[in-house]
Amino acid sequence: MDTDKNHEINLQASEKQYSKNLLPSLSVNSVLFSYHNEALNVLLLEFAETDYFMLPGGFIKNDEDVDEAALRSLKERTGLNNIYLEQFYVAGKAGRTSDPVVLEYLEKEGYTTTAGWLNQRNVSVCYFALVSEKRVKPEIKENFISEYKWTDLQKLPQLLFDHYDIIQKAISRLQADIDQKLLFHNLLSEPFTMPELRKLYEAVFQKQFTRSNFQRKMLKRNILVRVGKKLEGRANKAPYLYKFKK
Amino acid sequence: MDTDKNHEINLQASEKQYSKNLLPSLSVNSVLFSYHNEALNVLLLEFAETDYFMLPGGFIKNDEDVDEAALRSLKERTGLNNIYLEQFYVAGKAGRTSDPVVLEYLEKEGYTTTAGWLNQRNVSVCYFALVSEKRVKPEIKENFISEYKWTDLQKLPQLLFDHYDIIQKAISRLQADIDQKLLFHNLLSEPFTMPELRKLYEAVFQKQFTRSNFQRKMLKRNILVRVGKKLEGRANKAPYLYKFKK
DNA sequence: ACAAAAGTGTTAGTTCTACACCCATGA
DNA sequence: TCATGGGTGTAGAACTAACACTTTTGT
């Protein structure tokens, strides 16, 4: 009974998507990381002035690779072209998109349950992206989105759906890949100093690294080139500047 | 023009799936690994007596988690319940399901392009599964599938779609996870000997491990318990037997 | 006794870790 | 000249890799 009814609802919503040449029941979500103020930040969107936040996402066109869809939706949102993007997870739980906060809001505002993309069955292919600070100017044009903000990972607000879990999985994957794939150069603007690089690692792994050993380890990998000295007005020895070796 | 036509085709096929309560455009595929004859094997299905093979897969019910769908389709195919299953990739290229071999076969046999699940746009959530040898009795009930076989990874036949890439990605992920998540105990039947365990590692990584060092490394991790000696009729010292410590 | 293959030991080399020491800079 | 913080050195521990030696077993 009840499942039959839900099925009808899904079918209708799905046909709407098809009419726009979009794959039904499927979407992408992106965990967009930046490094700012010595902390790892993530881009969040506020849902309808509820103080609840969510990850940016988008749908997939019929004739478009899923990877392309992720790149396109980020480009549309941030204007950025050369973003490092990595697929890391599929969120596929059946009930993942029925969030009480959203349902209550829709009911209060008089939306029918077929109103939009919010509460139908949805499987999401999740990506994380790395961007240098300040390169991004997000734009909000979607329905239900009232605001965006960069949030320190240690101070996450309340998140809708399963987006908290998705963020945690993104962090795990970033930690696993940052060394192997040398991802850090997507988060720092060149040139950078060794202490800056170390603090980035400390933000990513949420732990301290011994200063001297960290420097030795990075230098031994032969992936950095010194490009001079940093002459800052600080009461200490000026650190060297480094660039990432191509 | 042409894209509009394809769109119509997809929509029709999609509605067929909905009528069976299945999510459209989305499926799961499983790379089912076993360890047999000192080699890593993978379960493949032959497509319509063409000598081309493919991975087992299945669709996702409307009210079912994607993970559940993967488990269910494996259970239906192999009868196994407690399988280790891990999601590792999403194959999402737009053209991935149009394989010339399949298209030619369908045309030759007089199928229309809306005939089945074979050549519509499809995004596949990929899992790898680990099973002890001999526990599996695959059954073939699908259309177009003429045979199944376990194949040595070093002797793969020609594969349809992007299934070769998927298998390679599965191996990479298995290599990355086998130590961390102690996956080997899903591939060996207990009790096992240290040489057997070593040969499993050599099959997974396709390289030799020094006998003495491998033993030391595994024992130091404190995850194995000796349960006696193997008294085999072999002209050499009988190796110890081990079980996996829970 | 011998071959085969398992268990154990040894040694040199490398890497990790903690900490000490020195150096440059601005107040 | 002092505090701050970056750069470099070093000794001990831990880990790695190659190889030698010993033990068990069936023929």
| Residue–nucleotide distance: A204 CA to D2 C1' (Å) | 35
| Residue–nucleotide distance: B38 CA to D27 C1' (Å) | 26
Contacts of B28 (CB under 8 A, 6+ apart): B57, B58, B59, B60, B66, B69, B70, B73, B124, B125, B126, B127
Query: Which residues are paired to A61 by β-bridges?
Result: A22
Tens of pLDDT, residues B60-90: 999 999 999 999 999 998 888 889 999 999 9
Q: Is the pLDDT of residue A209 over 90?
A: yes
Asked whether residue B181's C-beta has any atom of DNA/RNA strand D within 7 A, the reply is: no
Minimal Cα distance from A25: which residue of B? Answer: B23
| Residue–nucleotide distance: A86 CA to D20 C1' (Å) | 48
Tens of pLDDT, residues A136-145: 877 777 778 8
H or E, element range at B47: strand B39-47
Range with the poorest average pLDDT among A57-66, A179-188, A225-234: A225-234
pLDDT score for B33: 97
Of A168, A165, A80, whose CA–CA distance to A129 is shortest?
A80
Query: Chain D: nucleotides under 7 Å from a protein CB?
Result: 3-10, 16-20, 23-27
Is A6 within 8 Å of B92 when comparing Cβ atoms?
A: no
pLDDT score for B16: 57
> How far away is chain B from the Cα of A63, in angstroms, using its nearest Cα?
6
pLDDT score for A210: 96
Question: Which of B10, B11, B87 is closest, CB to CB, to A90?
Answer: B87
> How far away is chain B from the Cα of A225, in angstroms, using its nearest Cα?
30
Per DSSP, helices labelled H in chain B are 2-19, 66-78, 100-108, 163-177, 194-205, 211-220
Tens of pLDDT, residues B209-224: 999 999 999 999 999 9
- Average pLDDT score, chain B: 88
Asked whether residue B207's C-beta has any atom of DNA/RNA strand D within 7 A, the reply is: no
